Structure 1
Amino acid sequence: MSVRNWWFMIAVGLGVLLNPLNSSMIAVAIPNLQNVFHLNFADVSWMIFSFYIASSIAQPIMGKASDLFGRRRIFLIGLVVVFIASLGAPFSPSFGWLILFRIIQSIGTSMIVGVGMALVRVHITDNQATALSVLSIFLSGAAAMGPFVGGVLLHVWAWQAILLVNIPIVVVSFILAWNMIPKDVPSRSMAEGMTFRNWIHFIDAPGIILFTVGLITLLVSVLSAKSTSHISLAHVGLGVVGLIALAVFARYEFKAATPFIPLRTFLKYPALFRLNIEFMLVNLLYYSLFFGLPSYLQMVRHVSEFHTGILMLSLGLSSLVTSPFAGRWIDRSGPNLALQVSTLLMTLGSIWLVLLNPSSPIVSVCVALAAFGISNGLNNVAMQVALFKASPKAIIGVTSGLFNTSRYFGTILSSLLIGIVMGDQFSAKGLSVLGIILTLIALSLVILSWRRGELGQFEKE
């Protein structure tokens, strides 16, 4: 790539890393926020829920918006939104305000991620594979280093630092993007004829509203019932409302012209549906460990934020180191064997959580972290290859979007699972229960992956 293209990649890379960095740094900050705002884990977990729910909604909308208004414009606006949220959040007068700024931050980072890959594909025509691999390093590196960076910032200052650290990154990315990203011409034929009513249908606003109301209402029902230790009529009522909203959402999506989540695709291609369910469960397992173990280390084993961040490095680094080797292995042998090994590693890591006790050496958590890290490195490549093999080329954009949605669902479910199991306070017994549940889920994935191997699905072509 030319020197200008390298600066272009740095501009885009610094922007897109904001989403994984901010979603991962929070893992180490959860116990600190519990103490500052006097909340239990179920309440403070809305820092996780809000970010991923907003991301799952905003990313597909921003992808559509970029087709109308231009990718460069959406990218730059996203950086401004992140700047405002990161500057305002540290001064939040209450936890509710912090959640609001967190949602705004998620929308901003989703604007950037939603168009970052497209910018690279459009403007880097030579050595495109190299450019995409560089962008992948920014994304996976930020996710891997997030807990460590968060731990260091909490150690030297306070929780506000994990928000303010975005500001210099945003400023540098904005200056470079303003100068290096070419001005693009929006689709005037679409934009000029797009009325407000057409825009509402274009983004599927009714579907988004039904999805948001259903998911949030259901989460509030389950978490509030857990926090009060009893199920009241109000909890049941909220849960019923949530389930009805999600049922209406599913029915509506089958009829929508441009659905928010194209469920018709799953009916037409059952293999894609099974793959997305598997991907959702994989992320449920991974993020249950990712968000649960830092809180266990700090609240049960009384490990500092700094040392928790160092321990969590074994998760991210093992994933980063595994990914390039996984790529070469899967190129030769196909994704099936890698997925089978991955599920076995997650099973072993989950069993290790069950065996941990308050007298276990702290460093022993690295066994579970490394198992899940290597598994994640295998999954990142193998699942993507399996998706390409299962998806018709004509709808690969749609299926890739669904794949990201499945990732968000798995992350949301992981936080819900931790909140239900742990409730008000983390404990060694709670970690063992969590480990048992994760082991059962991992074993179900082992069965699915080996059965798929016997059927010869996703073999190397």
Structure 2
Amino acid sequence: MKARSWWLMISIGLGILLNPLNSSMVSIAIPRVQNAFRLDFTAVSWIIFSFYIASAIAQPVMGKASDLFGRRKIFLAGLVVAFIASVSAALSPNFGWLIVFRVVQSIGTSMMVAVGMAIVRIHITEKQATALSVLSIFLSGAAAIGPFIGGLLIHWWDWPAIFFVNVPFAAASFLLAWRTIPEDDALAPVVPDESFRKWFEWIDIPGILLFTAGLITLLVGLLSSKSSGHISFENIIVGLIGLMLLAVFVRHEFKAPSPFIPVLTFAKYPVMTWVNIQFMLVNILFYSLFFGLPSYLQFVRHVSEFQTGILMLSLGLCSLVVSPLAGWWIDKSGTKPALFMSAVLMTLGSIWIVTWNQTSPLFSVCLALAAFGIGNGLNNVGMQAALFHSSPKEIIGVASGLFNTSRYLGTILSSLLIGIVMGGEFSIAGFRWLGMILTVIALSLVIMCWRRPESGEWHES
């Protein structure tokens, strides 16, 4: 591979790692942010919700926008947006502004993720599999070491450090990308009529607004009732309005000429739908531990941010180590054994959480993290393979987009679950309840994996 190709991969890699890095570092920073702004966990959880809701919306939209404006321009613009948002977030005067800048940061980093892989596919013609695997290392490696980096930074400084650390990555990526990413070829007109109305329909602005408003309104209704300690008439009305908006969104997507989320695809390919549901449940399990455990360790067990980061590192490293082994196993035996083993490990990890008490050794925490980490590594490869087996080749692009949407929805639901179970304060009793709920979800995955056919039978007839 030519030297210029390697520099291109490095420039793209330094940019796309900002999304998983910023979604993972925050797990360690939540207790500090909570103390700094005098919030309960229900309120501070919006620092998680905002990032994933914005990512779920921005990535498909920016993928479409790159067809209009060019991938190089979108990537460079994303770096500028992420740079400004990161500095602004670190200097936020209050929690409201922190959420605003967190959303902008998510949009900026999503701009790079949405087009980074495409840039490599287009401009690196030799050894493309190697190039894409290198980018995968940037993505998965950033997610794995994010909690460790977050713990280290917060230990030596404070929560703003997790935003300032983006500055050198964004600056280095911009300088390299400016020199190495070629100019886009002449762009074909993807919108036949360049009027604002046609562009409005092509991006599906009404669908995006309905999806965002419905999801946020439903979350507000659910979390407000938990924060107040009782379910009021106002909470019920807000929640119902959220559900109504989501129902209107689904109805709109059936009729939209270019839907934001093509729900008709789910109806047409039910096997693929089950893959996405299973993937969403997996992410609820994984991220409930990923976001809940640091707060449990720091508030209940009084473990330092640095030690918490080291403990959480075992979760990511187990996923990284197992992923290539999972690929070999799945190539040899299909997806069913790997996914079944993953569900069993997460079930055992969830049951183990229920046994914890105030004096349980930290080694027992490592055992649960190892079980979830290995399970996640098996799932990352297994669910992707199951998606390919269940999706016709002609819609694999749409299927991959829906797959990422399932990931984000699982992550959002995991944060919602933690907020509902824990409410305003983390406790050992609350964490045990969380473990019981995770056990039920994990057992449902075991049953789904056991009953599903072998991977070769997932194709639609």
The normalised TM-score by structure 2 is 0.98
Q: Which aligned pairs between 1:315-354 and structure 2 lie closer than 5 A?
A: 315-354=315-354
Question: Aligned partners of 2:17, 2:455: CA distance in 1, in Å?
Answer: 38
Is the contact between residue 294 and residue 308 of structure 1 (CA under 8 Å) also seen in structure 2?
A: yes
Equivalent residue for 2:409?
A: 409
Q: Quick one: structure 1 residues 455 and 317, their matched pair in 2 at CA, closer, same or farther if it must change by over 3 Å?
A: closer
Distance 2:190 2:120 in 1: 23
Alpha-carbon shift at residue 192 of structure 1 (Å):
8.1
Residue range with higher mean Cα deviation, 26-35 or 182-191: 182-191
CA drift of 1:329 comes to 1.0
Question: Does structure 1 conserve the Cα–Cα contact (< 8 Å) formed by 2:14 and 2:173?
Answer: yes
Q: How does 1:7-22 map to 2 (within 5 A)?
A: 7-22=7-22
Give the aligned residue type for 2:296.
Y
**What's 2:275 paired with?**
275
In the alignment, which residue of structure 1 is the partner of 2:439?
A: 439
Instruction: Tell me the CA shift for residue 89 of structure 1.
Output: 1.0
- Report what 2:156 is aligned to: 156
Residues 353 and 368 in structure 1, CA contact (< 8 A), matched pair in contact too: yes
Mapped to 2, the partners of 1:157 and 1:82 lie a distance apart of 21
Instruction: Please give the alpha-carbon distance, in whole angstroms, between the structure 2 residues aligned to 1:312 and 1:453.
Output: 34
Cα contact 1:388–1:396 (8 A) shared by 2: yes
2:206 matched to 1:206? yes
CA contact 2:271–2:458 (8 Å) conserved in 1:
no
Q: Which residue of 1 aligns with 2:178?
A: 178
1:46 equivalent in structure 2: 46
Residue identity opposite 1:285 in structure 2: L
Aligned to 2:370: 370
- 1:455, CA displacement in angstroms? 9.3
Q: Distance in 2 between matches of 1:362 and 1:143?
A: 22
Task: Write the letter of the residue equivalent to 1:142.
Answer: A
How far apart, in 1, do the equivalents of 2:238 and 2:320 lie? 42
Alignment of 1:5-154 (within 5 A): 5-154=5-154
What amino acid is the match of 2:231? I
| Aligned match of 1:294 | 294
Identical-residue share of aligned pairs (%): 68
Q: What is the identity, as a one-letter code, of the residue corresponding to 2:425? A: Q
**One-letter amino acid of the structure 2 residue matched with residue 147 of structure 1:** P
Whole-Å separation in 2 of the counterparts to 1:392 and 1:120: 24
Q: Residue 305 of structure 1 corresponds to which residue in structure 2? A: 305
| Contact 1:28–1:150 (CA under 8 A) maintained in structure 2 | yes
1:189 and 1:315 map into 2 onto residues whose CA distance is 45
1:423 and 1:107 map into 2 onto residues whose CA distance is 29
Q: How far apart are residue 108 of structure 1 and its match?
A: 0.2
Q: Which secondary structure does the structure 2 equivalent of 1:312 belong to?
A: helix
User: Do the aligned partners of 2:28 and 2:295 also contact (CA within 8 Å) in 1?
Assistant: yes
Q: Does 1:243 align with 2:248?
A: no
| CA contact 1:336–1:458 (8 Å) conserved in 2 | no
- For residues 109-137 of structure 1, the C-alpha deviation after alignment (integer angstroms, 9 at most, x for no partner) is 00000001111111111100000100000
C-alpha distance in 2, partners of 1:187/1:131? 25
**Number of residue pairs matched by the alignment:** 459
Contact 2:191–2:198 (CA<8 Å) still a contact in 1?
Answer: no
Q: Which secondary structure state, in structure 2, belongs to the residue aligned with residue 31 of structure 1?
A: helix
Separation in 2 of the partners of 1:149 and 1:74? 28
* Corresponding position: 1:388 with 2:369: no
**2:62–2:110 CA contact under 8 A, matched in 1:** yes
2-structure distance, mates of 1:261, 1:332: 34
Q: Contact 2:86–2:101 (CA<8 Å) still a contact in 1?
A: yes
Offset of residue 287 of structure 1: 0.2
CA displacement, residues 411-458 of structure 1 (integer Å, 9 cap, x when unaligned): 000000000000010000011000000000000010000000479745
User: Aligned pair 1:168/2:168, yes or no?
Assistant: yes
Distance in 2 of aligned mates of 1:186 and 1:290: 44
> Equivalents in 2 of 1:155, 1:136: separation in Å?
29
Letter in 1 for 2:180: M
Alignment RMSD:
1.2
Q: CA deviation at 1:189?
A: 2.7
Structure 1 residue 185, shift from structure 2 partner: 2.6
Rounded to whole Å, the distance in 2 between the matches of 1:443 and 1:154 is 36
Q: Is the 8 A contact 2:334 2:455 kept in 1?
A: no
Which whole-Å deviations, capped at 9, do the CAs of 1:283-325 have from their partners, x for residues lacking one? 0000000000000000000000000000001100000000011
Give the letter aligned to residue 215 of structure 1. Answer: L
8 A contact 2:57–2:208 mirrored in 1: yes
Task: Tell me which residue corresponds to 2:421.
Answer: 421
* Structure-2 change in CA distance of 1:428 and 1:333 (3 Å): same
Q: What SS does the corresponding residue of 1:10 show, helix, strand or coil? A: helix
Alignment of 1:220-239 (within 5 A): 220-239=220-239
SS in 2 for 1:190: coil
Q: Distance in 2 between matches of 1:39 and 1:457?
A: 50
Amino acid of the structure 2 residue aligned with 1:104: V
The answer to whether the 8 A contact 1:286-1:372 is kept is yes
Q: Which letter maps to 1:164?
A: F
- Structure 1 gap segments, 5+ residues each: none
CA distance 1:403–1:454, change in 2 (3 Å): closer
Residue identity matched to 1:205: I
- Return the offset for 1:409: 0.2
Q: Secondary structure at the residue paired with 2:260? A: coil
Provide the C-alpha distance between the structure 1 equivalents of 2:349 and 2:171, rounded to a whole number of angstroms. 40
CA distance in 2, matches of 1:37, 1:266: 42
Q: Distance in 2 between matches of 1:413 and 1:226?
A: 15
Scaled by the length of structure 1, what TM-score is found?
A: 0.98
